[in-house]
Structure 1
């Protein structure tokens, strides 16, 4: 029987990101907040969550991800810095400084790369090991980036003007190493694919399928698109978009932004979280919703599955759609759902 509970000590301001450790043996998750802290929590026996530690920054933290193991996290901050933090010692190291707030950061374990995207319309590619023979490389983007995602082989960047670039991580790693002696280390590297989003409005979130075959993206206008990397006509004909996170009020449907997209690491289904405070589970292949969870007290800001596939963490915070400048009590929270064996599994016919 599935159960859900809230953690007792959430951040004091809006939550900008939440991610479980990619280690299947770990039940730790990291949280980024506008209260200028990055947090590490851990599930104890799956029944309780406790705060392990937190790290103060000079400005709101907009994104966080784990590195090579549970003792390493990376943060994206509004103070323009990208940091590596040693969880065990608390040591913070600035990897690079953008020319504007840093929106997203992701880590590729397969290629030992840290990639950050900032509102100065650049990507910074950092080596994920301190003994690398090269330092930070920069790639200019055509538009402001809104969200990053990595699969085992690809990097997906969702940007303004419905632009979407896909890079092969192997190519990025090779280019960074080969340009190590360049004075500026500014890479003039073409993306593997340039795409225009299937969604008509601003992209809010993107996440990659665990099987490395494609990705899902969401927009501010209650829609999600599912696409495949394979550029063949056959694969591209499979892509589709659908409406979601719309609530009837009187005679009209109120449309909410889809703020979060997260794939299940084992079943390949995915969760979406909306400004309506609702989390829904979808089957990308069968093109149908598997289930919808009860409405939460505020907009869903982020959601993440544990690497072992047994838990779903959801963060709520007041969104722009709530129209509140103050943070009402109880409107910032993190909920842990213990998933039933078949709760997010594709339904067989």
Structure 2
């Protein structure tokens, strides 16, 4: 199963027996985001669409019902919800952000624009602002009632990933820059760090306690980085999403909202749960037959959503649209998979 082509054509897309979301997109999924208020899941995809499902859980069973969808002019790369759970923002290759009053049944309207594709976005409740990151090497902050950004922050390179947990924001750009902002003073960089990983940054995630962040790279490795200079001895990196000599991209990092452990998902088709404090993997899930480009927890951590589809990591020549199918799955994490436990009998590894 280590051969990529064999795995994609012959393997099982759902070896972990997760619940399948009905009527998935027709092309690869680029982002997944749950409403902060209820179990509504939004997916953006390369078929230019933004879709929403209502997820209904009854004990150990989960069902999904398509609720609504909107179109962009080009592939959609990122999405986020407003904190009231009523409105969805989406952006991508058409260089614009649409604000969709999903829950009130309203029509989407353009509220933000960039000079190049928009790769990341987040709603910041504490500031009532939307922040967008783009390949045009800027971050822009938007008051959605105004047509111009309230602040434009130049970046050293294209924005590839960011994480926001007020007042902490960490932006990963090309050339392995990691730029830390204190959102109480967003016009000034707080700190600039070269990634502890040797290869391109793919994803970042702020610690729930704001003391640092995780960074994942295209080369199957995650860095655990603390911001305080006094805590640098606690920094470490670890390998994941590898098989033999094959290394795969770490595509997604998500902290569990209750237990503060975290999940990684990768181009090897696996997702795993980890505890950074005891430096151990809590649970390794079986590999799906295609990559996992994105994943997310719902607001209370009782559902973990992940997509299984081609992610272009092996180039266009390895993609056959006729046979490739896109899936979105829902996994119900057991407490044993996501609750931290003490490490037994070791002194902790680097």
Structure 1 length as normaliser, TM-score? 0.87
- What is the CA deviation profile of residues 131-181 of structure 1, one whole-angstrom value per residue up to 9, with x for unaligned ones? x89844211111111011111311110011110111112223xxxxxxxxx
CA distance change for structure 1 residues 255 and 133 in 2, over 3 Å: closer, same or farther? Answer: closer
- What is the CA deviation profile of residues 48-80 of structure 1, one whole-angstrom value per residue up to 9, with x for unaligned ones? 112111111111100001013222111112111
Tell me how far apart the structure 2 counterparts of residues 19 and 141 of structure 1 sit (CA, whole Å). 25
CA contact (8 A) 1:160 1:202 kept: yes
The equivalent residue for 1:140 is 154
1:12-161 to structure 2, matched below 5 A, reads: 12-23=26-37, 26-45=38-57, 47-87=62-102, 88-127=104-143, 130=145, 135-161=149-175
The equivalent residue for 2:212 is 214
Tell me how far apart the structure 2 counterparts of residues 3 and 345 of structure 1 sit (CA, whole Å). 21
The equivalent residue for 1:237 is 233
Shift of 1:3: 6.2
CA distance change for structure 1 residues 89 and 213 in 2, over 3 Å: closer, same or farther? Answer: same
CA contact (8 A) 1:277 1:296 kept: yes
The equivalent residue for 1:9 is 23
Q: Secondary structure at the match of 2:175?
A: helix
CA contact (8 A) 1:256 1:276 kept: yes
CA contact (8 A) 2:278 2:342 kept: no
Q: How many residues align?
A: 322
Once the two structures are overlaid, the 10-residue window that deviates more, 324-333 or 218-227, is 324-333
The equivalent residue for 2:265 is 273
Once the two structures are overlaid, the 10-residue window that deviates more, 12-21 or 328-337, is 328-337
The equivalent residue for 2:11 is none
The equivalent residue for 1:256 is 248
CA contact (8 A) 1:227 1:239 kept: yes
Tell me how far apart the structure 2 counterparts of residues 63 and 315 of structure 1 sit (CA, whole Å). 14
Tell me how far apart the structure 2 counterparts of residues 13 and 3 of structure 1 sit (CA, whole Å). 22
CA contact (8 A) 1:10 1:334 kept: yes
- What is the CA deviation profile of residues 278-322 of structure 1, one whole-angstrom value per residue up to 9, with x for unaligned ones? 001110111111111111121001111111111111112212344
Q: Provide structure 2 residue ranges, at least 5 long, that are not aligned to the other structure.
A: 1-15, 344-350
- What is the CA deviation profile of residues 67-125 of structure 1, one whole-angstrom value per residue up to 9, with x for unaligned ones? 13222111112111122111123322222211111111111122222110111101111
CA contact (8 A) 1:41 1:49 kept: yes
Cα RMSD (Å): 1.9
Shift of 1:269: 0.7
CA contact (8 A) 1:312 1:337 kept: yes
The equivalent residue for 2:319 is 325
